[in-house]
C-alpha cells in the first residue's frame, strides 16, 4: 500500500484536509474527490485510515489555537469534580456540555462504522450531500434567532449539536462543521458561539477517530503519514483563525454557492465517467 500513496499524494491530502476540516464545505467530501483525482481507491481501508489520522493534525491546530480556553475548561472541570460550588463556573459548564455531546456521538459513530466504510463511502453520496445540506445551512441562517452567546449555552445545546456530527460521519459531503454550526444556529446560538462549540466538540471525537485508525494507516508508510499530518496542522491553523474572523460578521450561507457548484461538478463528472465513485 505504501507504493500506492506517493509523497506528493500525502502532501496534497494534507493541504485539502487542513483547508476544509473546519470550513462548512466537507473535508471528507473534498478528500474523497481528491483521492479519486489522484487515482487512489477511496474505499481502501488504508486510505480511509490515512485520512482519519491526518485529521489529528487539524485537531492539534485547534488545540494550539484555543489552548488557553482548553486549559481553563480542564482545570474548571477538575475543580468541579472536587467542589460542587465550583460548578457555577462557565468553563465547568462548557466542559460538561462538550463531554455530554461527545459520548453519544462517539457511541453511535462506532455503531455506524460499517456503513461509513462501506456503501456510504461514495462520491455519489458526496455530491448529493453537498447540495442537500447547503439548503439546511441557508435555512439555518434564515430562521436562527442568533440571540444567545457562549454564556447562554445549555446541556441540550451540547448534546444536540454533538449528535449532529453523526450526519457528517454518515454522509460525506454534509460537513461536520456545517452540520454542527447549522444545528447550533437552529438552536438560537450566534455564529461565533456556534463555531467555537463546533471546534471544541471536534477535538475529542476526531482525536479518538484518528487513534482508532492509526494501526491501519501505518500501511501507507510512517513518513507519509507524518507528512500529511504536519501539512494538515499548518494549513488548518490558518483556516481556523480565518473562519473565526469570517463568522463574526458573515453568514455561513456564503459557502452555499461553492458547495452547490462542487456538488454539481462531482455528480456530472460521475455521470460522464470522468470520476470513479
Over residues 21-59, the pLDDT tens digits come to 999 999 988 998 899 889 888 778 888 889 989 999 999
Q: Which residues contact 12 (CB under 8 A, 6 or more apart)?
A: 34, 38
- Considering the domain boundaries, does residue 277 fall inside one? no
pLDDT tens for 229-256 read 999 999 999 999 999 999 988 999 999 9
Confidence band, pLDDT 50/70/90 cuts, at residue 1: very low
- Considering the domain boundaries, does residue 2 fall inside one? no
**Cα 107 to Cα 163: distance, rounded to the nearest angstrom:** 10
Asked if 50 and 13 count as a contact pair (C-beta separation under 8 A), the reply is yes
Burial classification of residue 215, based on how many CB atoms lie within 10 Å of its CB (0-12 exposed, 13-18 middle, 19 or more buried): exposed
Q: What pLDDT shows up at residue 2?
A: 42
- Considering the domain boundaries, does residue 1 fall inside one? no
CA-nearest of 1, 39, 3 to 13 is 39
**Cα 70 to Cα 135: distance, rounded to the nearest angstrom:** 33
Q: What pLDDT shows up at residue 263?
A: 96
- Considering the domain boundaries, does residue 79 fall inside one? yes
- Considering the domain boundaries, does residue 145 fall inside one? yes
pLDDT tens for 102-125 read 998 888 877 777 766 666 778 899
**Cα 164 to Cα 51: distance, rounded to the nearest angstrom:** 21
Partners of 39 in the β-ladder: none
Cell of 266: 462531482
DSSP 148: B
- Considering the domain boundaries, does residue 265 fall inside one? yes
- Indicate whether this model's pTM tops 0.85: yes
pLDDT tens for 185-232 read 999 999 999 999 999 999 998 888 888 888 888 888 889 999 999 999
Mean pLDDT for the chain?
90
Mean pLDDT of 64-70: 95
**Percent of the chain scored above 90 by pLDDT?**
70
**Cα 188 to Cα 230: distance, rounded to the nearest angstrom:** 36
The total domain count for the chain is 1
What's the gap between Cα 243 and its chain centre?
13
Residue 189 DSSP SS3: strand
Q: Which domain holds residue 75?
A: 7-272
Amino acid at each position: 500500500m505504501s507504493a500506492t500513496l506517493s509523497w506528493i499524494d500525502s502532501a496534497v491530502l494534507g493541504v485539502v484536509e487542513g483547508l476544509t476540516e473546519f470550513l462548512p464545505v466537507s473535508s471528507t467530501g473534498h478528500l474523497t474527490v481528491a483521492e479519486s483525482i489522484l487515482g487512489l481507491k477511496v474505499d481502501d481501508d488504508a486510505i480511509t485510515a490515512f485520512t482519519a489520522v491526518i485529521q489529528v493534525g487539524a485537531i492539534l491546530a485547534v488545540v494550539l489555537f484555543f489552548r488557553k480556553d482548553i486549559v481553563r475548561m480542564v482545570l474548571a472541570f477538575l475543580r468541579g469534580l472536587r467542589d460542587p460550588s465550583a460548578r457555577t463556573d462557565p468553563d465547568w459548564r462548557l466542559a460538561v456540555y462538550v463531554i455530554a455531546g461527545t459520548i453519544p456521538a462517539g457511541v453511535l459513530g462506532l455503531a455506524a462504522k460499517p456503513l461509513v466504510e462501506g456503501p456510504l463511502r461514495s462520491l455519489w453520496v458526496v455530491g448529493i450531500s453537498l447540495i442537500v445540506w447547503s439548503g439546511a445551512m441557508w435555512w439555518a441562517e434564515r430562521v436562527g434567532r442568533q440571540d444567545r452567546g457562549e454564556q447562554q449555552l445549555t446541556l441540550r445545546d451540547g448534546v444536540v449539536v454533538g449528535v449532529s456530527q453523526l450526519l457528517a460521519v454518515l454522509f460525506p459531503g454534509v460537513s461536520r462543521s456545517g452540520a454542527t454550526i447549522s444545528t447550533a444556529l437552529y438552536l438560537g446560538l450566534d455564529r461565533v458561539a456556534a463555531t467555537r462549540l463546533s471546534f471544541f466538540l471536534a477535538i475529542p471525537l476526531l482525536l479518538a477517530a484518528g487513534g482508532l485508525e492509526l494501526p491501519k494507516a501505518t500501511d501507507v508508510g510512517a513518513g507519509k503519514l507524518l507528512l500529511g499530518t504536519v501539512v494538515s496542522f499548518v494549513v488548518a491553523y490558518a483556516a481556523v483563525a480565518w473562519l473565526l474572523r469570517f463568522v463574526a460578521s458573515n453568514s455561513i450561507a456564503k459557502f452555499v454557492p461553492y458547495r452547490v457548484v462542487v456538488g454539481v461538478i462531482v455528480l456530472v463528472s460521475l455521470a460522464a465517467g470522468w470520476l470513479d465513485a
